[in-house]
Amino acid sequence: MKRVLVLPGEGAGLEVITAALDIIGSLEVDLDILHGVVGTSSREAHGSHITDEVIDLAKGSDAVLYGAVQSPPPGVAYRSPVLTLRRELGLFANVRPARPLVPRLSALRPPRRLDVVIVRENTEGLYCCRERDIEGGVVAERLVTRLASGRIHGFAFDWAASHGRRRVTCVHKANVLRRSDGLFLESFREAAAAASGRSGIAADDLHVDAAAERMVVAPSTLDVIVTTNLFGDILSDLAAGLVGGLGFAPSANIGARHALFEPVHGTAPGIAGKGIANPTAAIMSAAMMLDHLGYGSEAGRLEQAVVATLRAGVATRDAGGRHGTRGFARAVKERLARGRRE
């Protein structure tokens, strides 16, 4: 039995994770589901957006299924739950797949089809938040180490090999950031050389601006991208926009021992509480979680049910449909049940 900690958060995060959890309950998987509270409710009850108790529960779990938390206004003390969990659980790899589940929702038309997985280094870069004041401005330090670079590149090649991918592209800006991205690129080439003898996976590299253009004009040339924290954050949102929007963007945060799965979107305060949030990203994140936990067959069935539901014209309003969060999730459950009978 695998233990899963569910942290729905608030706003749309709470709604979509509840929908995804309902669908998981209809699958034949042996999971011990625990529930925890993060976000505003946690701060009101305990004085912090995430407590040490929740962190300990996460450390004792095989996976975390996470929703979204609204950042408070300036002046309110804030301990980001997801950043805290990434750090405490050692989740160094952020994995964000992007592919059009339904052709009509994609901004790209065949043969310009995007099916890319972005592997983003999760612990360093500009997001290490080392900022200091100088006279008339602010300096932000960008951290790149050989240890973290080698780790993420090795992960990218291993992930590509285990998921039937054929090319890994390192995205960087070493022509300008000669020392930091130069180190990142050098480490990639070392990892590519080490992987070439056992995987048969091709390796190349692109400047980040060229990669952004390639994603739009020649998306089929991209397979797995490995990149730094900020570049990965930006490119993954671009990729999501090209295949239908953030409502279709799942993600995984993976470390040596732990993993956390979450939809890329936030709390969506403009629609929160209306029951219309698109749960697809949360459901596909749950499928990624099941695959990670060893339930590959069930994960495949869940993905197929989501795709079949969308292609049958059942969708939420952001995707041109008329269904709400629960209605779409119910249709996916019915599709799963129909598949079992067939």
- Catalytic site residues? 127, 173, 209, 233, 237
CA distance 219 to 140: 32
Q: Mapping DSSP to helix (H, G, I), strand (E, B) and coil, where does residue 201 land? A: coil
- The whole-model pTM stands at 0.94
Query: Residue 135 contacts by C-beta under 8 Å, 6 or more apart in sequence?
Result: none
Give how far Cα 137 sits from Cα of 126, 128, 131, 140, 277, Å.
17, 19, 11, 10, 40
* Ramachandran area for residue 168 (φ above 0: left; ψ -120 to 50: alpha; else beta): beta
Domains of the chain, with CATH numbers?
1-92+250-342 (3.40.718.10), 107-243 (3.40.718.10)
Cα-Cα-Cα-Cα torsion 333, 339, 341, 342, nearest 10 degrees, comes to 160
CA distance 43 to 56: 17
Do the Cβ atoms of 323 and 334 come closer than 8 Å?
no
Cα-Cα-Cα-Cα torsion 194, 200, 205, 206, nearest 10 degrees, comes to -160
DSSP 320: T
CA distance 254 to 155: 10
| Residue closest to 267 by CA, chosen among 7, 40, 13 | 13
pLDDT tens over the chain, length 342 residues: 999 999 999 999 999 999 999 999 999 899 999 999 999 999 999 999 999 999 999 999 999 999 999 988 887 888 899 999 999 999 999 999 999 998 888 888 777 889 999 999 999 999 887 889 999 999 999 999 999 999 999 999 999 999 999 999 999 999 999 999 999 999 999 999 999 877 789 999 999 999 999 999 999 999 999 999 999 999 999 999 999 999 999 999 999 999 999 999 999 999 999 999 999 999 999 999 999 999 999 999 999 999 999 999 999 999 999 999 999 999 999 999 886 655
